[in-house]
Amino acid sequence: MKFSIVGLLALFVLFGCSTKKDHQVFDIFKAENTLTIDGKANESIWQKTQWRPLDQLWLGNPYSAEDFSGRYKLSWREDGLYLLVEITDDVLFDQHKDPLTLWWDDDCVEVFIDENNSGGDHQFNHNAFAYHVAMDGNVVDMAPNKEGKLYNDHVNMAKTQDGKVTTWELLIRIFDDSYQDDKENTPVVLSANKKIGFALAYCDNDTSETRENFIGSVFVPGEDKNRGWIDAGIFGTIVLKE
């Protein structure tokens, strides 16, 4: 049987490409003024923005509110997404001083970004990013060479602590899927009505050899919920609004 080039392309589009089905869709609003990344959340946008829960157990056993609770807010400007995360954690644990050693087993915030909201595989490519933001500010994701790599210039982070409550404030610069490691890359300039794939998670470890819980912002169906680092289709969808 012979196929025309047009026919083959049609089959590729039909079967070879997957389109993300949007879920957990919500609007985020632009900050009128520049935000200072200092972990203090003094800007007016944070006073006007509602908290969203970080409460989906992706890995580990059920936990108590005394052990962990989390919530977050989002905003944006042309230079990137702004994220405020409030974590109540009874034990903060950072056992690996080398940021590229078992980074997922230390307490950290993990931010999932899919610039064009396309979904699909991103395990060893830059179709999307899974930024592990450590307590010391190092930012790690899996690179196309299947090894961890620092992406510290993608995320600015500052945090403050009050007892068991840690407030993380982040600026995340957004890169599209043309990103190439060790090349010069320009962040995307954000604008109103853009859709971005987004999810948030927290790796919680209370002094164990490996992380004890992995708590996310998005409901993931099925038994295997630890799929965010592989499949951008599980991300929610945020819509940028003025």
CATH of the domain at 86: 2.60.40.1190
Please tell me the predicted confidence (pLDDT) of residue 18.
55
Q: Please check whether residue 1 lies inside any domain of the structure.
A: no
Q: How far apart are CA 230 and CA 216, in angstroms?
A: 15
Please tell me the predicted confidence (pLDDT) of residue 97.
86
Q: Please check whether residue 2 lies inside any domain of the structure.
A: no
pLDDT at 12 over 80: no
Q: Which domain holds residue 140?
A: 24-241
pLDDT in tens, 26-84: 999 999 999 999 999 999 999 999 999 999 999 999 999 888 999 999 999 999 999 99
pLDDT in tens, 104-132: 999 999 999 999 999 999 999 999 999 99
pLDDT in tens, 152-203: 999 999 999 999 999 999 999 999 999 999 999 999 999 999 999 999 999 9
Q: Please check whether residue 7 lies inside any domain of the structure.
A: no
Q: Please check whether residue 57 lies inside any domain of the structure.
A: yes
Please tell me the predicted confidence (pLDDT) of residue 93.
84
| Helix, strand, coil shares, percent, the chain, to 5 | 10, 40, 50
Q: Please check whether residue 84 lies inside any domain of the structure.
A: yes
The whole model's pTM is what? Answer: 0.91
Residue found under tokens 């690996």: 96
> How many Cα neighbours within 13 Å face the side chain of 27?
7
Environment class of 133 (CB within 10 Å of its CB; exposed 0-12, middle 13-18, buried 19+)? buried
Q: Residue 205's Cα: distance from chain center in Å? A: 19
Tokens of 195: 């859709």
Domain count along the chain = 1
Q: Please check whether residue 4 lies inside any domain of the structure.
A: no
Please tell me the predicted confidence (pLDDT) of residue 94.
86
DSSP string, 102-160: SGGGSSEEEEEEETT---SB-TTSSSSEEEEEETTS-EEEE-TTSSEEE-TTTEEEEEE
Cβ distance 93 to 107 under 8 Å? yes
> How many Cα neighbours within 13 Å face the side chain of 166?
20
